[in-house]
Structure 1
Amino acid sequence: MTSAQPNNLPLWVQDRDTVIEYSQHAQWRYQESPDYNRSKENLAKESTRNHVEGTLEAIVQNLVRTFEMEVSFKSNPQQWLSVVNDQFRISTNGGKEYTAADLSAQGTYNLFMADSEHYKASEENFESSAKLFHSTFPQGFPWEVLEVYSGPPVVTFKWRHWGHFRGQYKDFAPTGETIEIIGMTIANVTDDLKIISLEHYFDNNLFIEKLTAGGKLADSNNSGDSETKSGGCPFGSWFKGLKKS
């Protein structure tokens, strides 16, 4: 896969594993570089798109996956190759803008999902939120580009996040269903394709609705099946996060 990357493309829009290999001296959040082998297996089986290397769609997908990897695993944002660190800003649904330092300290979940009944961003930190959602989606939460509507310097694209809800979410029972979230992003990039800003648009309330649809574990144990079937599938769109591939 890596050898198929066009040689003239910047490192950060090449295959994510190529970036990891280059980043041998990075400060890794968990003391070692990430292993995406399982993620690649899931992508190969479950992706709805197969973008040809070198196309705009593949380049955008590689850039965002590299960005997600760096946010999740490189603890020093000054070492992120995918962004213009001193200019970088990120926002959700027209809300507050955050810096790379904010993102590194608090994590994507806590910046994208404000306080609500079933998720208290103000009470979570990077590690606790990552642990929660990794256990909720034990097989991962892959991400892919669906369509790209405009090219650099303002890249507008539609994407898909999905995962199998097989681990409990807080005290809510897993439903086993595949949760799929669709979103839109506007990315401002430099001439060499580093990210200056990201504006994400999606309905993150629907994500929480899906995670609580199975009912609380105590209720499901006591009542058999009524609580676990509540809500059906009022699904719609998205997730936050840059999440988790």
Structure 2
Amino acid sequence: MSATQSNSLPLWVQDRDKVIEGSTDAQWRYQTPPDYSRSNENLAKESTTHHLEGSLEAIVQNLVRTFEMEVSFKSNPQQWLSVVNDKFRVSTNGGQEYTATELSAKGTYNLFMADSEHYQASAESFESSHQIFHSTFPQGFPWEVLEVYSGPPTVTFKWRHWGHFQGAYKDYAPTGETVEIIGISVARVTDDLRITSLEHYFDNTLFLDKLTAGGKLPSSNKASTCPFSSWFKKVKKS
């Protein structure tokens, strides 16, 4: 498919930067549009697949990246272009289904991880969950489509999430390794390629095992991870 044909596709299955540029009236969660320049650099260097523009793989990848961007940064789910808001449902590993409004409130990390020994999604807010994983993967946590097994209206695809474990995960030491998740998702879409339902399947236990493999941090290190600890010490001395 040529670039001209690609640009004739719905905005939400084009490059997510174009979606951001076109979202002129969006209510941004952090007041300003997100900047994906660093993420784009990492994707160019570290992606294992490079799909032809306009291919089914590229369209699916763009749609899911747009969806993830909108959930993370557009605070009003009514403004999400990538989904049919009143019909949309999302689930992980056959678990509870969430609406767009619920997903907007909980965040993608809490939906993905649920409650387990090493992560309590029910105890985390949208903001705290993002802070945990942004600190764990300070260089980002990119995502790519590996293969697409079936096209619309039921799109089944294999994907890869990865990040460099260079920051502490809660009170567990970083290993410096690249942590990778491979999963399968099923997206049901409309004729104009908006998502009505999304089902994710992956081994989140394996993911958390990797994040706790470095062992607990010593107490002194845990204290030093607080960005305000040195400030508090100065206050006590003064």
Structure-to-structure mapping, 1:122-141, within 5 angstroms: 122-141=122-141
Distance 1:123 1:219 in 2: 23
**2:120 maps to what in 1?**
120
Moved over 3 A (4+): none
Q: How far did residue 205 of structure 1 move?
A: 0.6
**2:205 maps to what in 1?**
205
SS at structure 1 position matched to 2:31 = coil
Distance 1:134 1:4 in 2: 36
Q: How far did residue 112 of structure 1 move?
A: 2.0
Structure-to-structure mapping, 1:147-158, within 5 angstroms: 147-158=147-158
More helix by share: 2
Q: How far did residue 196 of structure 1 move?
A: 0.4
CA contact (8 A) 1:91 1:200 kept: yes
- Structure 2: any 5+ residue segments left out of the alignment? 222-238
**2:218 maps to what in 1?**
218
Aligned AA for 1:205?
A: T
Q: How far did residue 220 of structure 1 move?
A: 11
CA contact (8 A) 1:84 1:194 kept: yes
CA contact (8 A) 2:7 2:14 kept: no
Structure-to-structure mapping, 1:81-230, within 5 angstroms: 81-218=81-218
Q: How far did residue 47 of structure 1 move?
A: 0.3
SS at structure 2 position matched to 1:217 = coil
Distance 2:175 2:204 in 1: 18
Q: How far did residue 91 of structure 1 move?
A: 0.7
**CA distance 1:5–1:210, change in 2 (3 Å):** farther
Aligned AA for 2:99?
A: T
CA RMSD of aligned residues (A): 1.4
- Structure 1: any 5+ residue segments left out of the alignment? 222-245
Query: How high is the TM-score relative to the length of structure 2?
Result: 0.89
Q: How far did residue 199 of structure 1 move?
A: 0.6
Distance 1:4 1:18 in 2: 14
CA contact (8 A) 1:33 1:73 kept: yes
Q: How far did residue 4 of structure 1 move?
A: 6.2
Distance 1:178 1:220 in 2: 26
Distance 1:4 1:173 in 2: 48
SS at structure 1 position matched to 2:98 = coil
Query: How high is the TM-score relative to the length of structure 1?
Result: 0.87
CA contact (8 A) 1:140 1:163 kept: yes
Residue by residue over 1:151-193, the C-alpha shift from the partner in whole angstroms, topping out at 9 and shown as x without a partner, is 0000000000000000000110000000011000000000000
Distance 1:130 1:27 in 2: 19
**1:64 maps to what in 2?**
64
CA contact (8 A) 2:143 2:161 kept: yes
Q: Aligned pair count?
A: 219
